[in-house]
Structure 1
Amino acid sequence: MDTASAPARAEEPRWLTEEEQRVWRSYLHATTLLDDHLDRQLQRDAGMPHVYYGLIVSLAEAPGRRLRMTELAMRAKITRSRLSHAIARLEQSGWVRREDCPSDKRGQFAVLTDEGMEVLEQSAPGHVAAVRQALFERLTPEQQKSLGEIMQIVAEGLQPEDARADLPWLR
């Protein structure tokens, strides 16, 4: 048989071990449940999904409660089109407004309004309580430290400098 004309055989995948599969599935199950728990809490108590709450928090923490839209998309780890849709919904609620960037005619800022800040101040205590109950109260201080270190390693590995073009906020 002529091996030069034979299709290149794909390398066999390195399958997860039983323990790795258990850890992976536990991670997926827990993060799905946690995301749903926090989303339902914020929908019930503040009338917004978790991703919108995160946008409002980012704006509240920014100087002048304003961020360029691209910076906000980067912080939220979402596409620019998803951000644009979210900001439109937050504008309808009166919680955010857009402003043109004076130095860049194509750029825009998202600005947290006083009403948006008030909604954040009202919803933050319930959200913090939900996070604390769902995560931190279930872990020892050592487990919390380990979880933080592990998640930092994972996040750093998923944001290498040479892969920036494929990050959601650049799409």
Structure 2
Amino acid sequence: MSDPSGLHPADWAVWRAFSTTGRSIDRALEQRLQHDAGISTADFDVLRSLAEADGHRLRAGALAESIDWEKSRISHQVRRMAERGLVERADCPTDARGTWVVLAERGADAFAAASCGYVEVLQRAFFDRLDADQKQALASMADRVADALDRVAVAPR
């Protein structure tokens, strides 16, 4: 039987389990990052993208795209991180409007301090709990949902 919202109670249970688990993992990762390096998950996402980039630098737009953020969010995040010495901003010599976001030494140190603990939390709380078939199934499900989200229009209220 469906409830007034239109979802079956079993579907609600699946959604609650999924969303609660995601929030719990996010919280554990956030706590570990704060403990190990004094950074947030948002900081870590930016630092990881820069650490993996050629020359440890990305254009602001490419950085936003790499972590699936809007340009305004990356702009505010980069400003806060630059104030703390984790990243630096550099003008792009070939495009007067372009800005490079560069991994600073302090940011590289924070990323190094945070990475092992971050991976440990993921490994122990997530990957160690799944066998190879479950990991493959979960990846397939995630791709399927992501593909559907690309096609679902959300109407503003």
Give the shorter-chain TM-score range: 0.7 to 0.9
Correspondence for 2:147: 156
CA-atom RMSD in angstroms: 2.0
Correspondence for 2:29: 38
Alignment partner of 1:124 is 2:120: no
Identity percentage of aligned residues? 34
1:131-170 residue pairs with structure 2 within 5 A?
A: 131-160=122-151
1:12-23 residue pairs with structure 2 within 5 A?
A: 15-23=6-14
Larger radius of gyration: 1
**CA–CA separation in structure 1 for the residues paired with 2:146 and 2:19:** 16
Q: In the TM superposition, what whole-angstrom CA distance separates every residue of 1:107-164 from its partner, at most 9, and x where no partner exists?
A: 111011233222212211111001111111122221111111111222222235x97x
Please identify, of 83-92 and 63-72, the stretch whose mean Cα deviation from structure 2 is larger. Answer: 83-92
Correspondence for 1:90: 81
Correspondence for 1:62: 53
**CA–CA separation in structure 2 for the residues paired with 1:85 and 1:14:** 37
- Measure how far apart 1:59 and its partner are: 0.6
Corresponding letter in the other structure for 2:106? E
**TM-score, length-scaled by structure 1:** 0.80
Task: Name structure 1 gaps, 5 residues minimum.
Answer: 1-12, 167-171
- Structure 1 runs (4+) deviating above 6 angstroms are none
Task: Name structure 2 gaps, 5 residues minimum.
Answer: none
**CA–CA separation in structure 2 for the residues paired with 1:14 and 1:90:** 42
- Measure how far apart 1:14 and its partner are: 8.2
